[in-house]
Chains A and B, each alone.
Chain A
Amino acid sequence: MTDSKYFTTTKKGEIFELKAELNSDKKEKKKEAVKKVIASMTVGKDVSALFPDVVNCMQTDNLELKKLVYLYLMNYAKSQPDMAIMAVNTFVKDCEDANPLIRALAVRTMGCIRVDKITEYLCEPLRKCLKDEDPYVRKTAAVCVAKLHDINAQLVEDQGFLDTLKDLISDSNPMVVANAVAALSEIAESHPNSNLLDLNPQSINKLLTALNECTEWGQIFILDCLANYTPRDDRESQSICERVTPRLSHANSAVVLSAVKVLMKFMEMLPKDLDYYSTLLKKLAPPLVTLLSAEPELQYVALRNINLIVQKRPEILKHEMKVFFVKYNDPIYVKLEKLDIMIRLASQANIAQVLAELKEYATEVDVDFVRKAVRAIGRCAIKVEQSAERCVSTLLDLIQTKVNYVVQEAIVVIKDIFRKYPNKYESVIATLCENLDSLDEPEARAAMIWIVGEYAERIDNADELLESFLEGFHDESTQVQLQLLTAIVKLFLKKPTETQELVQQVLSLATQDSDNPDLRDRGYIYWRLLSTDPVAAKEVVLAEKPLISEETDLIEPTLLEELICHIGTLASVYHKPPSAFVEGSRGVMHKRLPARTGSGESTESPDVGTAAGGSAPEAAPSIIPSQGDLLGDLLNLDMAPPTTSGPPPPTTGMQMGGMDLLGGGLDSLMGDESEPLGGDIGGSPAMGAGFGAAPAVMPASLNAPVGGGLGDLFDLGGVGMPMGAYIPPKIVWLPAMKAKGLEISGTFARRAGVIQMELILTNKAMSVMTDFAIQFNRNSFGLAPAGPLQVLTPLGPNQTIEVSLPLSTVGPVMKMDPLNNLQVAVKNNIDVFYFSCQYPISMLFVEDGKMERQVFLATWKDIPNDNESQFQIKDCHLNSDAASSKLQGSNIFTIAKRTVEGQDMLYMSIKLSNGIWVLAELRVQAGNPNYTISLKCRAPEVSQCVFQCYEAVLKN
């Protein structure tokens, strides 16, 4: 008798039969019936009609039957919530059973019944089970808290289950600890700011102890949790690493990878000269190598991770090249990954070995793999200069085989080699030309045409070769057409006498007979260039090309950092941040590697800032009219003065030249909008002067190198700045992840009556950024940049620049929500990026905001009481005089002070840049850290923002 009979096809009326069997008196028959029901459920039949009958079988002392019934319940309870209530009593009773297996089973199943009504009945039994004497019940209950949280998070918090769960981290049983950690980790993910896990050295110590005792799966939970902790210093980091390293030799690859993740992250904090650092590096290699002896599925996942690790720390595996050599029976996806890692590890030391391997691979059967292998040879040549010659001769050998796809791939990579080492290997061109006829793929044809055009002066029959391509011009793909056009123009510039006809032919083909706008435009550009100024054409077309960089396929450093924090997870397989593929709230936090303690990166960056020195920072010029609402019309951004490398020459002509462009653009725009300009500044020449002055405003910050003292110096140098004005700390407004590597952080400040937006721009991408410009959307107080964004040097990779942007308040106004919200667009040579930030309203408080006492009294009375709002400022330990002077620093002026029954009443006034007055009464009671503040204003919307400023100013 076997179970497979349950799967046999069922006839009509089967449900009735089952019903009868379920209600049978015989236990065996009942059990068989429930099994049949579950079998039907598995294959997707609807057996929900049997719900009451199955639930009736629940009250049994036969554990096997009970489990089967529960299995059914979990599946159908959701669709029949009312009926599910019927089961609650049994659950509650089972939670009190003498048998721990039954208690655990009940609490486990109840958590899986995702019916809201049931959850309230679940609380009491769960509370008991969390404190059960049996660890099996406790560990089940710990998971149940996570289940309940998923259904009703509020209930879990209200019932205090989270605290109980936290206590379980100190449980004596490692299984319980592991489950508690897992449950808390998951719950904490949905509350990113809560301190649920409360990782501190003590709790970390507990976790590390539990790590040695619990099951392999528990170890994974604990290690993953450890990875979220940031040690206080390198010593703590080292001691954790020391206790985690034994996990590297675990047989379970998931444990190994979780340990690798912790180590890779904490290593970041260790000084590189530490002996332990190199020991750790050595220890990381063997477990990674071991992973490659697993099944192909695991190998693939491991290789994707190793790919990341190799990019971050190539030194770990630099001696292990051989393990990445391809085995003939590896699945193709494993082979391709291995190939990629081989190239990443290739160096002068092992290049001979690698090349020999690659050459073997190029004769294999699988076409995709062969192509990739040929490409890899080219990448080696570009990466390891000493090997270039060897690579080229290897490629020539391969071309000799005349295997079509090998030849084509080889030509594509030889083109790249030419771009890296120009004028070095032209001797091979003859061989390449022999294979011209066999090229049928666009990429290979385009590459060959490029080579012919580039070296046209050394190929005797270049014109014939190119002409042969021209015959079928319209059948070629765009790639080939564009390349052919350029190549023939190059040829013409090099041998003008013989090729005039050819060039005319191609130009007319491109401009007259083609529907492709790219091709047409390029054709016209060449045409005009050639017809107006052949010398200039030569300079443009035959200009020296930049060498191609050796590693074009590296992952962006910011992304790599984040992925390193996700080693061993799906993110590391997809090579995408979790936010890209995990829905909703989970995983939105971007993880970052901890910063190394001690010397920062800043010391390594070249000190280019000194060039701009000389002129001391001075106060910003008077307010300059806004540029109008340019947002949305981003083309205008291109009109910002061209960025030049090095400090701007102080010749006014140059400045004016730049400004004319901008001024002209502005003129037309402002004419359209009939925006009134500032009284003292008229048309565009004056504007130009205004802008012209701008570069001198913040010279110290122009080329400021990363971080360090210069920023501090600058802060101190703010001339005439009232001391103690509140400036919020800089926060990241635009993470690099969202802006193709550009990170912007900043704050707002009011210095000497001028509002400034202080920005730190960091280039975390791998290419140079130039052409920065900024614009604001309309906002509540008409804030607008009073000048262009002064980033005059290109921002290199990993470089940081600090910029101060003076702001005016005469821009267009639109009410924002929240009131102090500011939407900003920043442009650079890569793209336009948008972000929004909130400024402290205190920077709009003007210096002449002190009201006459009489006026104050009258105004206070005049403003209706409805407009008064009251707030509490908690935990402020200043006395009233200290508070008053502190506030004065931010242009909040105390007009009068009164003391009534030990309570100081301060009356204050504030004037906003748009003329709105805010009156305040601050009550300070000696010994009471809580202040009360009443605000009265004709525009009560600002009260909330003003209150926030009070709080910020007083607490900083």
Chain B
Amino acid sequence: MISQVFILSSKGDHLIYKDFRGEAGKDAVNKFYEMVTALTGGQPPVVMKHKELHFVHIRQGGLYWVATTKADASPFTIIEFLNRLTALVKDYCGCLSEKSVQMNFALIYELLDEVVDFGYIQTTSTDILKNFIQTEAVSSKPFSLFDLSNVGLFGADTQQNKVAPSAAATRPIVSSQGEQGGKNEIFVDVIERMSVVIGANGVLMKADIEGEIRVKCYMPSCSEMRIGLNEEFSIGKSQLSGYGAAVRVDECSFHQAVRLDEFDTYRILKVCPSQGEQTVMQYQLCDDLPTAPPFRLFPSIERDSGGRLLMYLKLRCDLPPKSLSQELSSPDQSAELQPKNKAVHWEIPRFPGGAQLSALFKLEVSGLSAASLQEVGPVSLNFELPKYTSTGLQIRFLRLSPIQPGPSQRWVRYVTHSDSYTIRI
């Protein structure tokens, strides 16, 4: 049971405050900000307690989204709810920022009223909510298809994101204004996150992939969409693939609106996408990657005669080369020593498949001993691989029925992110 919901800016300004049960005072807001800013690194910020009141919060769009409760409520429910709330606000207002929340406060109050009643969560589905919501969203920027300066689709700013007009995905979903209408667009994103640990001897110790298929739909009326996956897609460890080309995952879960009657035989997901963004399928694969991990590192750590630490790192990308010309040294690379984290940060803007890069770092370390060489490492990689899924999952087709009147645009995008890619030395 949620007692209050409030949204604070990163500076602690009250943007939205709604009390559902009248059991806690408004001073809770300031108390929360006091507590959250006083947290030290080691303390788990997830659930905080002040007297009888428990705070659960998440951070999204640079804002604090907070719910309080006095009962022994479920933090899972509250965190899931706050995540949905941010998604809803994003759907309705276009993007998440202090400004957009401020501009649409009346709309957000209205949303909150429908979404939660007396602390009981009612619904977070855009489809149901659009029957009740009266207020129009106010967009912060006039929409332009050609404005690509917006934040990238997958949360990070990248140069490779030009696969689709990304700004299209940051406008309000629900809008009755005519100028934007008629843009019948649907985005299907396959997003995978990789966690890899490679041991010091080069052996793959752990490799997990978490993936999801996300649909963002701008179509006002779309009765059914059929998403065809690879036909040889299989779930579970027991099924052995006959000809090796199979795409396999360990576990799969689906959005409750997905109908699976054609899934078993044809690997087709049937969805009636409501307007807005939703994750239709999530899957995982542990330890058994179909291909080699995308990056290999060949490190050598030494102590030179002058007592300096020498780190020679050779990094190779094992993805298939897309073009014949290979850049062997990229001029845009940069490296930086971060004394606070005791780390060296090496940045490589582009890394073509099949290429190899190397770097030599010389570090002055006082009191360097042979034993301190053991302390070096591990190497962690952050990267994004566009147009690539490491499980090999592909979308065969995307069919809408009934056939949409007028032009409709369907975008399918793939990307693999590093979640935690660690190479031990």
Q: Could you list which residues of chain A lie within 8 angstroms of chain B, going by C-beta atoms?
A: 1-4, 6-7, 35, 38-39, 42-44, 63-64, 67-68, 71, 75, 78, 101, 108, 111-112, 114, 139-140, 143-144, 146-147, 150, 175, 179, 182-183, 186, 215-217, 220-221, 224, 249-254, 256-258, 286, 289-290, 293, 295, 297-298, 300-302, 322-323, 325, 327-333, 336, 360, 363, 365, 368, 397, 400-403, 566, 568-571, 573-574, 578, 581-583, 586-587
Contacts and interface: CB of A to CB of B under 8 A. Distances in A.
Contact of A332 (B42, B81, B279): B42
A841 B99 CA distance: 73
B138 A290 contact: no
Contacts of B125: 215
Given A4-B102, A43-B14, A297-B79, A582 B46 contact: no
Given A368-B42, A402-B369, A252 B80 contact: yes
Contact of B49 (A4, A217, A581): A581
B420 A401 contact: no
A152 to B, nearest CB: 14
Contact of A297 (B46, B71, B256): B46
Given A4-B99, A290-B284, A301 B253 contact: no
Contacts of A325: 197, 206
B58 A297 contact: yes
B contact face: mostly helix, strand, loop, or mixed: mixed
Interface string B266-295: 000000000000010010101100000000
A143 B118 contact: yes
Given A71-B113, A186-B1, A39 B105 contact: yes
Contacts of A330: 420
A215 to B, nearest CB: 6
A333 to B, nearest CB: 4
A216 B195 CA distance: 29
A570 B134 contact: no
Contacts of A140: 117
Most interface-central of A252, A368, A566 (chain B CB within 10 A): A252
B69, B253, B424: residue with the most chain A Cβ atoms closer than 10 Å: B253
A298 B76 contact: yes
Given A43-B13, A217-B122, 12 more contacts: A2-B140, A3-B138, A4-B102, A4-B103, A64-B134, A139-B122, A251-B279, A290-B253, A327-B195, A570-B47, A578-B72, A587-B72
18 contacts: A2-B138, A4-B103, A42-B14, A68-B106, A111-B118, A114-B22, A175-B122, A183-B120, A301-B75, A322-B206, A333-B45, A333-B46, A360-B424, A368-B42, A570-B69, A570-B75, A581-B49, A582-B71
A112 B22 CA distance: 8
B377 interface: yes
Nearest to A108: B117
A401 B375 contact: yes
Contacts of B71: 582, 586-587
A300 B48 CA distance: 13
Interface residues of B, number: 89
Nearest to A305: B76
A855 B365 CA distance: 106
Contacts of A363: 374-375, 377
B395 to A, nearest CB: 19
B132 interface: yes
B16 interface: yes
Nearest to A224: B74
A43 B29 CA distance: 11
B75 A329 contact: no
Interface string B254-274: 111000000000000000000
B77 A254 contact: yes
Nearest to B123: A215
Contact of B14 (A44, A108, A143, A566): A44
A215 B43 CA distance: 34
Contacts of B251: 286, 289-290
B44 to A, nearest CB: 4
Contacts of B122: 139, 175, 179, 215, 217
**Which of B15, B20, B140, B374 has the most CB atoms of chain A within a 10 A radius of its CB?**
B374
Contact of A251 (B43, B99, B110, B256): B256
B210 interface: yes
Contacts of B193: 293
Nearest to A256: B76
B26 interface: yes
Instruction: Pick from A39, A71, A254 the residue with the most CB of B within 10 Å.
Output: A254
B304 interface: no
A332 B118 contact: no
A889 B132 CA distance: 71
Contact of B80 (A3, A108, A254): A254
Interface in B128-177: 132, 134-135, 138, 140
B398 interface: no
B358 to A, nearest CB: 22
A297 B80 CA distance: 10
A397 B256 CA distance: 52
B44 A38 contact: no
A328 B380 contact: yes
Interface in B64-90: 69-77, 79-81, 83
B72 A571 contact: yes
A182 B58 CA distance: 25
B361 to A, nearest CB: 17
B74 to A, nearest CB: 5
A44 B28 CA distance: 13
Contact of B22 (A39, A78, A570): A78
B242 interface: no
A3 B102 contact: yes
Nearest to A325: B206
A566 B253 CA distance: 25
Contacts of A365: 341-343
Interface string B334-355: 0000000111000000000000
A143 B120 contact: yes
B424 A3 contact: no
Nearest to A215: B123
Contacts of B279: 251
A-B interface, 8 closest residue pairs, ranked by CB to CB distance from nearest: A327-B420, A333-B44, A254-B77, A578-B72, A254-B76, A64-B134, A217-B121, A293-B210
Given A3-B106, A322-B287, A300 B46 contact: yes
B21 interface: yes
A126 to B, nearest CB: 13
B210 to A, nearest CB: 4
A143 B77 contact: no
Contact of B134 (A7, A63, A220): A63
A101 B131 CA distance: 9
Nearest to B44: A333
A157 to B, nearest CB: 19
B120 A568 contact: no
B394 interface: no
Contacts of A75: 19
Contacts of A566: 72
A298 B72 contact: no
Contacts of B81: 217, 254
B15 to A, nearest CB: 7
B190 to A, nearest CB: 16
B422 interface: yes
Given A301-B79, A332-B42, A566-B72, A42 B105 contact: yes
B76 A250 contact: no
A401 B193 CA distance: 35
A569 B73 contact: yes
B109 interface: yes
Contacts of A258: 74
A38 B106 contact: yes
Contact of B44 (A150, A300, A323, A368): A300
A583 B52 contact: yes
B268 to A, nearest CB: 19
Contact of A3 (B47, B105, B113, B255): B105
